[in-house]
Structure formats: structure tokens, C-alpha cells
Amino acid sequence: MRYVAIDSVEPGQYLGRTIFSNNGTVLLNEGVQLTVYMINTLRRIGATYVYVKDEQFEDVVIEEILSEETKRAVVRQMNELFESLRSGKDFSTKQISVTIDQLLEDVLNNKDVLIHLTDIRSQENAEYLHALHVSMMSVVIGVNMGFSQAQLKELAIGALLHDIGKVGGFDDHNKDEPRRHHTWRGFETLKLKREFSLLSAHVAFQHHEHVDGTGVPRSLSADAIHPYAKIVAVANTYDNLVSGKKDARPMLPHEACERMMAMVGRELDKEVLIEFLKNISVYPNGSSVRLTNREVGVVVGQHRGLPSRPVVRVVRKDEHDLDVKEYDLAKHPTLFIEAVLA
């Protein structure tokens, strides 16, 4: 499979992975031959990159930390939770706890898999996928930092519900009324849930605080910010950057990582970001790249701990044969990825 920009997908190509809606139903099945209408539909619902089949890269494995079953369960749960809050009803903490247990199990069973966010967002599912991604990435960081099972669950719940205060569309921008900010409202909602740890509520409260004291709603700095909130701040920032929430266009993973490194000491905690960068797939499998030797290839393998040094396969065709070679960048210290291609 190859991971290609939606604008580079051509009619007649075959979809490499099944695409689901926010309620778990199938939009397009893996293996379907794409038509102009299908491609335009994917573009309309917000797809920026998709997997397509390619016989030269049939062996490329796309590993995911979370199973499709877990993803659908979490997204459905968040959909139900937000709809309950919008209609003035309560939500089930028990069901959230069960769903989080499922997420934790997946993460702990796939500790060696690098983070790669491939889910297609639409206006309908964007806020639910954001919650899913932030929770999953936060747990991965927590595992790296040696958190216990109980701590991971507190972190996962707080991360999943970090934006719960946004339900209802309250004003975030009036600095004279910090209690109207979604972080404060989220804290007020979650602290009433006795089934959840108060630390989970503080994740919602503090995830927009900055380590230099310039954040909101209380301008906390450094050690005054709980480690869980520092972790969620990193995961939240990354998902916002790659989804395009804060910029005119979605960033590629390596661009987002570079931007975040520039935020260290101001918005983001250095140690947390280091642990995050160990687990991010900077150049995801299936990505087309150009190397500094000017050869163009596709990423086919990863090294945990060395996410910027993947394995790249270069395929050259002539009239009679194929010339295939692979560069393991971990073994070629003078060779680098120069650009990611559409």
C-alpha cells in the first residue's frame, strides 16, 4: 500500500483500507475500485490522505495501536456523551470506564507500534476522533513514563474528556471571565463525577496552561501544572496541527513535530515531548519520499526510538525489468529524507 494525498488519487485505483463513518458504519470497503464520484466524496468529507493498493508495495504493513473495533467503540461513546450533554441529560461514567479499559488494553498490547493517525475526519466526527487520538497518544506517553495501570486510566479518562467543557459553545475568549473558558467548565462537570478521579478533572482544567505561565485559564507554570495535563497538552497540540485545526492546512507529521519542538519551554514540557517523539511515526509506512541522493521511494519500515530513520524502498522500472533496492536510514548516517511527496 501507499499513503497518498487525496488530490493524487486517480480513478481506477483500489482503496487500501476500509473507511468508517462516525457511528461505525462502513463508508467504503477496502479493495473497492475508486471512481471520480468516490474520490470527490472523500475530498468533500475531509479526507486529505488515503491508502491505495500498489503491487510494488503489497508487503507494506500498516500497524495501528488501536483496533478498528476499539476506535468505533470510543467514537460511538463520545457521540452519545456529547449528544446527552447537548440535550441536558447525564452521561454514563460506567460505559466510559469500560471503553477506556478497551483502549488501554490495545495500547499495552501494541507498545512497540509507532503512532500514526490515519482516520479520515469529517465535520460530523472531528471532535470525537480528536478525543480518541488525544487519549490514545496520552496513554502511549504515560506508558513511556512508567505510569501504573491506575495512573494510565486516570490519564486516559481525562484526555478523552479534556474538551467536554466545549459542549454548548461557550465563549473561550473573554479573559475577564476565565470561568467561562471550556477548561474551567470541563473541570466543573467532571469533578462532580465521583466515579472518576479528581485528577482526571484537572486534565480538563489545565491542558491549555503553558509551562512559561502564559496559558489559560489560571496562568499556571512549570511544576504547578499536573504531569497528566502536560502530557495531554502535547497530544492535543499534535492532533490539532496534523488535522489543520490551528493552521490553513493540515501539517504532515514531520512538520508538526518540528513546530512542537519550537514550543518547548514556552507552551510544552521538554521531557514529555521527548517521550512523545520516541513513539511518533514521523514518516508513516506507505509515504512517498525523496532522499538527499535525489532518489524517490516509499517508506516500508520503521525503527522504534529512531522514527526519523525509516526504511525506504526505491523501485525503478525499465522496459525489461525492475530494479528494487532498500535504504535502511538507520544504517546510512549520511542519507536523509529531503521531502515528503504527494
What is the residue range of 13's domain? 2-57
CA 207 to CA 215: how far, in whole Å?
9
In this prediction, residue 169 has a pLDDT band, given cuts at 50, 70 and 90, of low
Residue 235, helix vs strand vs coil: helix
What is the CATH number for 117?
1.10.3210.10
Does 326 lie in the same domain as 229?
Answer: no
Question: In the chain, how many domains are there?
Answer: 3
Q: Is 282 inside any structural domain?
A: no
Average pLDDT value for residue range 204-226: 97
63 belongs to a structural domain: no
Q: Is 283 within the bounds of a domain?
A: no
Instruction: Check whether 25 has a pLDDT greater than 80.
Output: no
Residue 126 or residue 247, greater confidence: 126
Contact 134, 203 (CB under 8 A): no
**pLDDT level of residue 171 (50, 70, 90 thresholds):** low
Dmax of the chain from CA atoms?
72
C-alpha cell at 187: 473541570
What average pLDDT does this structure show over 146-164?
Answer: 98
Q: What is the chain's mean pLDDT, rounded?
A: 92
Question: Which tens digit of pLDDT belongs to each residue from 323-334?
Answer: 899 999 999 999
Report if residue 163 sits inside a domain. Answer: yes
Q: Would you mind telling me the total number of residues written for the chain in this entry?
A: 342
Q: So what's the pLDDT on residue 304?
A: 85
Three-state helix/strand/coil letters over 197-228: CHHHHHHHHHCCCCCCCCCCCCCCCHHHCCHH
Mean pLDDT of all residues in 213-237? 97
Side chain identity at residue 63, one-letter code: E
pLDDT in tens, 250-276: 899 999 999 999 999 999 999 999 999
pLDDT at residue 88 tops 80: yes
Residue 9 lies in a domain: yes
User: Are 99 and 215 in the same domain?
Assistant: yes
Residues 123 and 269 in one domain: yes
3-state secondary structure of 298: strand
Structural Rg of the chain based on CA atoms: 21
Are 124 and 255 found together in one domain? yes
User: Do both 330 and 229 map to the same domain?
Assistant: no
46 and 160 together in one domain:
no
Phi (first) and psi of residue 201, to 5 degrees: -65, -35
Decide if pLDDT at 23 tops 80. Answer: no
Residue 152 has pLDDT above 70, yes or no: yes
Q: Yes or no: say if 117 and 56 are a contact pair by the CB < 8 Å rule.
A: no
Contact 36, 11 (CB under 8 A): yes
pLDDT at 45: 84
Contact predicate 283/330, CB 8 Å: no
Angle at 285 between CA 295 and CA 41, to 5 degrees: 105
Q: Which residues contact 315 (CB under 8 A, 6 or more apart)?
A: 56, 297, 298, 322, 323, 324
Higher pLDDT, 9 or 123: 9
Q: What is the pLDDT of residues 278-297, one digit of tens each?
A: 999 999 999 999 999 999 99
What is the per-residue pLDDT across 46-85, written as a single tens digit (0 to 9) for each?
A: 888 899 999 989 999 889 999 989 999 999 999 999 999 9
Kindly state whether residues 189 and 144 are assigned to the same domain: yes
Q: Same domain, yes or no, for 175 and 240?
A: yes
pLDDT of residue 175: 60
**Same domain assignment for residues 247 and 133:** yes
Query: Do 194 and 271 belong to one domain?
Result: yes
3-state secondary structure of 88: coil
DSSP summary character for residue 252 = P
pLDDT at 227 over 80: yes
Residues 117, 228, single domain; the answer is yes
Q: What is the pLDDT of residue 120?
A: 81
Cut 0.75: pTM above it? yes
Are both 15 and 109 inside the same structural domain? no
